[in-house]
Structure 1
Amino acid sequence: MKLEMDQNEYLPLREVVFRTLRNAIIKGEFMPGERLMEEKIAANLGVSRTPVREAIRMLELEGLVVMIPRKGAEVANITVKDLRDALEVRMALEELSVVLACERIDDEGKKKLLTAGVEFKEAINSKLVPAIVEKDERFHDVIFEASQNQRLITMAMNLREKVYRYRFEYVKVFSYHDKLITEHDEITKAIFRGDKEAAQKIMRKHIYDQEQIVIENTIRENGN
């Protein structure tokens, strides 16, 4: 596997390596349980082992990597407990964001939400999983922005990486894509009507159904 370096001349090398490895993990290029060999990764990226070692430590702090005695670093497994913990928090934040968006969205926010919906459908049609994840994330980000609550937006951003890995898991299920489009459309219409109860109910089901899909896949793949 050839890793694509996340180039940024303004960041320390360890941060660039960290971002590169994190993207590879959350996109499934490194599989749960796979060992991260410092020497091999360093050669792949054309860097020394030092920034790779530092990046792996940073990944461990994020919970994406675990250190196994006498074996070294491994990509952390996705467990049902981790999934539920992350998505319970996400559900609470998303429900609050959609209620506030019903009250506070302005004309510019409505335009952004419509655009995000169209771009999500285009990504679905492309059948490219990274593009679908990006546009799904953008749709939800626009709703957070429409809440006009900066603390809420910051909390959502802090949770982003924890949830991003799970987004890849559920959008890989192509049979679910039409349902995602329908739910996005229903959420948008509820926000435009200012119907807080409907918007919250649809969002709750939207996130809950995603959780169930990833749980089923996780149990099927590794039984945890």
Structure 2
Amino acid sequence: MARGPVTEAETPAAPSLSKSQRAYHWIRQQILTQEFAPGYRLKLAGIAAELGMSVVPVREAIRQLEAEGLVTFERNVGAHVSMVDDTHYRHSMQALAILEGATTALAAGHLTADDLRRARETNTRIVESLDSFDPHTLTALNREFHSILFAPCPNPRMSELVTAEWARLGNLRDSTFSFVPHRAQESAREHENILRLIETGAPPVQIERASRQHRMATLEAYLAHKYSDDAGSARTPTGGTP
């Protein structure tokens, strides 16, 4: 059913945002929630009408999203939500493993008992959601868990870098759990291990290593699945290879 134009109240902190910022936040949210799935064509006029503004601020928002890797622009075709790119995913996950590991280690000494309780409750919800297995829900809960752990990091720039890298991965990470569903259960166990290290006052280097390896394990599971599928598709019907 068609919607009317989005009002000021429907965008985050609308009174303090410019039109291009409003458009940026709205489009980005559609991408991260996969309302706009990979490959979705972004029609500037349609988005402008939805948001009740001209195409100029929408075009500016698209350019910003393109710089972040969430949108791809092709001459004579237009803008569309970036497709899953294995090289991009691998590079982003490697960067995130290092950044998130360091940020979590820096934040560990500043976490309160309430923070750790909320993190453990979130991980329990992850385990409970495995029966229904909704990749989008798992991705949201996973992000909530890690956000709690690095929120008190005393270096705000580190937190900003992690958040920016998460944004780059936003439209890819649901797909990861879809490809390797067993990874979600392993991830929950690794979460518990990271919590135990923090609660027992383990050295920051151990917390950093556990967090980094946790992120890399997801990348390795995805790549193992992909290359296994690629090898399988290359086999001949008799089991040999061409």
TM class by shorter chain equals 0.7 to 0.9
Query: Any idea what SS the aligned residue of 2:172 has?
Result: helix
Distance 1:19 1:129, change over 3 A: farther
From 73, 76, 80, the counterpart of 1:70: 76
Q: Distance in 2 between matches of 1:101 and 1:45?
A: 38
Measure, in 2, the Cα distance between the counterparts of 1:89 and 1:51: 31
Q: Secondary structure at the match of 2:69?
A: coil
The Cα shift of 1:138 comes to: 1.7
Q: Does 1:7 align with 2:14?
A: no
Aligned: 1:149 with 2:155: yes
Aligned length: 221
Distance 1:34 1:157 in 2: 23
Match of 1:211 among 199, 210, 219: 219
1:184 equivalent in structure 2? 191
1:160 aligns with 2:166: yes
- Output aligned runs, 1:89-104, within 5 Å: 89-104=95-110
What is the CA–CA distance in structure 2 between the aligned matches of 1:48 and 1:216, rounded to whole Å? 46
Q: Is the 8 A contact 2:40 2:80 kept in 1?
A: yes
Mapped pair 1:55 → 2:61: yes
Q: Which residue of 2 aligns with 1:202?
A: 210
Instruction: Supply the distance in 2 between the matched residues of 1:24 and 1:122 (Cα, whole angstroms).
Output: 27
Does structure 2 conserve the Cα–Cα contact (< 8 Å) formed by 1:133 and 1:167?
A: yes
Give distance in 2, aligned partners of 1:151 and 1:14: 24
TM-score by structure 1 length?
0.78
Deviates more, 1:9-18 or 1:65-74: 9-18
SS at match of 2:80: strand
Q: 1:174 is matched with which residue?
A: 181
Asked if 2 retains the 8 angstrom alpha-carbon contact of 1:102 and 1:193, the reply is no
SS of residue matched to 1:142: helix
* Aligned equivalents of 1:48, 1:13: Cα separation in 2: 9
Aligned twin of 1:16: 22
Q: CA deviation at 1:115?
A: 3.3
* Distance change (3 Å), C-alpha of 1:72 and 1:100: closer
Q: 2:121 is matched by which residue type in structure 1?
A: T
What does 1:128-147 align with in structure 2 at a 5 Å threshold? 128-147=134-153
Offset of residue 120 of structure 1: 3.5
Q: Deviations over 1:110-143 (max 9, x none)?
A: 3333333234445545644443322211211122
Whichever residue aligns with residue 39 of structure 1, its letter is A
Q: Determine which structure has more spread, i.e. the larger CA radius of gyration.
A: 2
CA distance in 2, matches of 1:161, 1:44: 23
* Distance apart, 1:190 and its partner CA: 1.7
- Secondary structure (helix, strand or coil) at the match of 1:67 reads strand
Alignment of 1:23-38 (within 5 A): 23-38=29-44
The one-letter code matched in structure 2 to 1:65 is: V
User: Aligned pair in 2 of structure 1 residues 102, 125: CA closer, same or farther (>3 Å)?
Assistant: same
Q: 1:39 aligns with which of 32, 42, 45?
A: 45
